[in-house]
Amino acid sequence: MLYPLKFKPILKERLWGGTKLKSVLQKPIESDITGESWELSGVEGDISVVSEGSLEGTSLNSLIDRYEEKLLGKSVMDRFGKDFPILIKFIDAQKDLSIQLHPNDALAKKRHNSFGKTEMWYIMDADPKAQLIVGFNRDVQQKEYVESLENDTLLELLNYEEVTEGDTFFINTGKIHAIGAGVLLAEIQQTSDITYRVFDFNRKDKNGNLRELHTELAVDAIDYERKDDFKVTYPTEGNMANTMVESPYFKTNYLNLDTDYTLDVSQRDSFTILMCVKGEATVANAAGKTSVKKGETLLLGADTDVIEITTLGARFLEVSI
């Protein structure tokens, strides 16, 4: 059995990034524009590496090759083979992100030989009046959308959501969206880095160039209907697993712990991910234990039966397939 695994953060500078990953989550960043910390990734070119314990320095792909179903679970391997199906990130938006969307599985497979990108966001910190863009504010026709790009009026068609800590959003493929300035969030998504950027406020990169837009690719990937299907309401009762999201791509529970807690996962045919979004704890299974604090993520193998969490107060997002 694998002990609870922690991985080295993969830090990404972004045009819109800031310093909260360091000031709030204690990530080892050195720049003032670090926008993302990839906590657990099987994306080619950005494979996570174990940060501590006897397996320190081992890549996620090597772990999968070695442990297979013991790590992933039989049902997960039946669906995804040895491709790790979840990408875990923390995101700091000092400035507005570009307005974008992601293709569904069928379109992503056809065009990019990739998974689509269904995702969820959990707000960890937000400046006063900070917002997200999620979907349109009414049903929109494709022709009207295209004209709004030509006339620079797209922002008038979009739905804005003011956010505070704990707010949670589920973003289906095809839904136009953007993270606004002043938001720090945890992101859980399908393993995919396919993004169609449709508007970027006419900003230029460090070389003075406008960033690439994917206008034509996006047109037939967008869901033009106004749908109130994105804001997640969930119970927050203490010391139990509270369901947040249950989708074909991932399941997420909210653990609001004020004391020690035992999580029985013996009937789960999947790995378990624990993202600590508040406080600190010690997490143990039969193979070992690991300390974890706000802004850190653990992976426990599918062969884990019981997870023991020792804490005086912590909040976790618990993710499985």
Per residue in 1-35, pLDDT (tens digit) is 999 999 999 999 999 999 999 999 999 999 999 99
Amino acid 288 reads G
Contact 86, 189 (CB under 8 A): yes
Contact 60, 48 (CB under 8 A): yes
Q: Which domains does the chain have, with CATH numbers?
A: 5-232 (2.60.120.10), 241-320 (2.60.120.10)
Task: Give the per-residue SS3 of the chain.
Answer: CCCCEEECCEEEEEEEEECHHHHCCCCCCCCCCEEEEEEECEECCEECEECCCCCCCCEHHHHHHHHCHHHHCHHHHHHHCCCCCEEEEEEEECCCCCEEECCCHHHHHHHHCCCCCCEEEEEEEECCCCEEEEEECCCCCHHHHHHHHHHCCHHHHEEEEECCCCCEEEECCCCCEEECCCEEEEEEEECCCCCEEEECCCCECCCCCECCCCHHHHHCCCCCCCCCCCEECCCCCCCCEEEEEECCCCEEEEEEECCCEEEECCCCCCCEEEEEEEEEEEEEECCEEEEEECCCEEEECCCCCEEEEECCCEEEEEEEC
191: nearest Cα among 12, 15, 60: 60
The total of other beta-carbon atoms located within 10 Å of residue 188's CB is 25
Contact 290, 298 (CB under 8 A): yes
The stretch 236-249 carries a mean pLDDT of 95
Contact 76, 302 (CB under 8 A): yes
User: Rounded mean pLDDT of the chain?
Assistant: 95
What's the pLDDT score for residue 283? Answer: 98
Report helix, strand or coil for 182: coil
Contact 200, 152 (CB under 8 A): no
The stretch 165-175 carries a mean pLDDT of 96
The runs of H, that is alpha helices, within the chain are: 20-23, 60-67, 69-72, 74-80, 105-112, 142-151, 215-219
Query: In angstroms, rounded to a whole number, what is the distance separating the alpha carbons of residues 175 and 316?
Result: 26
57: left (phi over 0), alpha (psi -120 to 50) or beta: left
What's the pLDDT score for residue 116? Answer: 87
**197 given a catalytic annotation:** yes
Radius of gyration of the chain (CA): 20
Question: Choosing from 79, 111, 138, 197, which is the catalytic residue?
Answer: 197
Per-residue pLDDT tens digits for 180-219: 999 999 999 999 888 999 999 888 877 888 888 999 999 9
The stretch 71-81 carries a mean pLDDT of 97
What's the pLDDT score for residue 182? Answer: 98
What's the pLDDT score for residue 102? Answer: 94
What's the pLDDT score for residue 291? Answer: 97
What's the pLDDT score for residue 210? Answer: 85
